[in-house]
Structure 1
């Protein structure tokens, strides 16, 4: 009886099969990666929606939005021991973070929260974009920042005073609150005679640009930790917990003429402009305003929540003037100047959805 040989792959056939499998994997891998990024972007979008809702709920109850930095708790014996908290901490009651809220709102005998240091706080999932994971598990990382307006209204003695029309979130820690006293070294973040600004939805709706055309929150890979209590050692800066806008002509001129890659260039003052973002760290006075602009790991731009609650994707190719206009709460009364750099922009058309 003749014995039949079993069919088997030849070496050439095996190589062909391997090549086909490799090609299929190569075709599928980008699709899988794109699907994963889409899922991460959707989670990020939901995070922003929840944070915007928490802020709006708080404003409905208290008739004001918090500042990017705020007074909180019982004042200490000196101004530098006045407890300070970011806008995120102020939303803890609305985000069902009561235990953390109680920590921040109940300070010890030294006038500071009863916690060891900012890095000891837990990580809060809603504060972190999945595309911007922490370097260390449990680190109190922050991915989201609030609209703090014009970059140079920073509260220093040499800067122009804060203008409610320039943004939404402002410094709410001023000890003097308009009184003409010289700020002490312990209260260097105060500007002589400057009042605190109270921002409301009613202002934006009745006097401003409208809630659908005013940005509230966005992403920033350079944001540090949401925990911030070491009052007296760090001067408040709006880019610690906020994002800013720069005059469009300044950015345009720098993009056209600069040949350097230094971090001080104004070309970094745009979406995804900073090529080498900060490694996650605690807040310090060494941080500069160039870190206070939107950035993300999402290809092509950032997610942003508006005052009306909607979340949109903002392209990093957005026109600089449109970007600044979306940040002003009332462009007619703001410090925004046009493309010539001198003429105030008082009659801009509201940008459509296709503008960003």
Structure 2
């Protein structure tokens, strides 16, 4: 009896067609997944912005970047009650350091999904993988020269980790800022930025516990200066870590009005510096 079957040539053609279709499909699937992750990341920033405003409504000021205790707690802890995490906040001892016997277990019990970018492959601190980290950082302000006035931005240059900009929203253990201090306009001033990229700052050990604050005149773990371009490779100073992400072409940012923007890594650097200040009186806007 005559048997019907594929010839070898036909089989190879079918395999080749399937290979081409898979090759076309996979990038589309990956792009769809990244779009979903980017949307989730944007929603996290939106929640951060809402919690920041609710905090201000309650306290008539924004939270400090870190409590006025060396190795104290971060702004992320302060915002917990306004992100429906009041029960967790109540378990912290605010007057103690982040790694005290009472506070350290709360850093290690579970990742904080609202502080983690889903596109990043890492969610633990580099100095100890037992601690969960955050990918969303407060903006301390710009460093260098104001592109509008030509005058240097106000900066405390003490310490060995990059100094402290004085013209952003968050600071360490000093008088907190409020809406009246944002003279450049809330829609023109950055509040939060993203550091979630795998090749961050030369792959140096930079991620820290999401609860960790800072040390006076030394470093700030939960907030950073705007000193380098987005996605730029930089390893020298802890406070000057460059913002960056796994989202192609840039990173997510939250503004002081609660809105969220994806900012391109090719943004004019003068515009980027201007957006980082709350009182630089620059005319540039994102």
For 2:209, which of 225, 228, 233 is the aligned residue? 225
Q: Is the 8 A contact 2:232 2:244 kept in 1?
A: yes
Indicate yes or no: 2:110 matched with 1:104. Answer: no
Q: Which has the higher contact order (CA 8 A, sep 6+)?
A: 2
1:197 aligned partner: 175
Residues in 2 aligned to 1:157 and 1:287: alpha-carbon distance in whole angstroms = 10
Higher Cα radius of gyration: 1
Greater shift, 45-54 or 146-155, is seen at 146-155
Shift of 1:91: 0.5
Which of 253, 274, 279 aligns to 2:233? It is 274
Give the drift of 1:289.
Answer: 3.3
With over 3 angstroms needed to count, the CA separation of the structure-2 counterparts of 1:309 and 1:35, relative to structure 1, is: same
Task: Please say if residues 170 and 238 of structure 1, whose CA atoms lie closer than 8 Å, have aligned partners that are also in contact.
Answer: no
Match of residue 170 from structure 2 = 169
Aligned residue number for residue 30 of structure 1: 27
Task: Give runs of aligned pairs for residues 115-126 of structure 1, distance below 5 A.
Answer: 115-116=103-104, 120-126=108-114
How far is 1:98 from its partner?
2.4
CA deviation string 1:87-121 (max 9, x = no partner)? 1000011112223312323667xx95614467534
Q: Does 1:156 align with 2:134?
A: no
Deviations 1:37-93 (A, max 9, x none): 11110000000100111011001111100111114xxxxxxx76xx72111000011
Q: Contact 1:154 / 1:237 at 8 angstroms: preserved in 2? A: no
Q: Is the 8 A contact 2:194 2:252 kept in 1?
A: yes
Deviation track 1:163-204 (CA, whole Å, cap 9, x = no partner) reads 3xx1111112xxxxxxxxxxxxxxxxxxxxxxx233112332
Could you say which residue in structure 2 is the equivalent of 1:262?
none
Structure 2, unmatched stretches of 5+, are 145-154, 197-205
8 Å Cα contact 1:214-1:328 kept in structure 2: yes
1:310 aligns with 2:244: no
Given that residues 212 and 306 in structure 1 are in contact (C-alpha distance below 8 angstroms), is that contact kept between their aligned partners in structure 2? yes
Quote the residue 2:238 is aligned against. Answer: 288
Q: For 1:321-354, what per-residue CA distance to the aligned partner results, in whole angstroms no more than 9, with x for missing partners?
A: 000001110213xxxxxxxxxxxxxxx4332x5x
Q: 1:329 aligns with which of 267, 270, 278?
A: 278
CA contact (8 A) 1:215 1:304 kept: yes
Please say if 1:245 is aligned against 2:223. Answer: no
Confirm or deny: 8 A CA contact 1:122 1:138 kept in the other structure. Answer: no
Residue of structure 2 equivalent to 1:189 = none
2:119 paired with 1:131: yes
173, 181, 188: which one aligns with 1:213: 188
CA distance in 2 between counterparts of 1:199 and 1:150 reads 16
How far apart, CA to CA, are the structure 1 residues paired with 2:91 and 2:190?
30
Task: Tell me the CA shift for residue 155 of structure 1.
Answer: 6.4
- Give the unaligned 5+ runs of structure 1: 72-78, 173-195, 247-268, 277-285, 333-347
Q: Determine the C-alpha separation between the residues in 1 that align with 2:93 and 2:143.
A: 29
Partner of 1:48: 45
Distance 1:238 1:149 in 2: 14
Counterpart position of 1:91: 79
Are residues 1:13 and 2:10 paired? Answer: yes
Contact map agreement 2:143 2:225 (CA 8 A) in 1: yes
Count of matched residue positions in the alignment of Structure 1 and Structure 2:
261
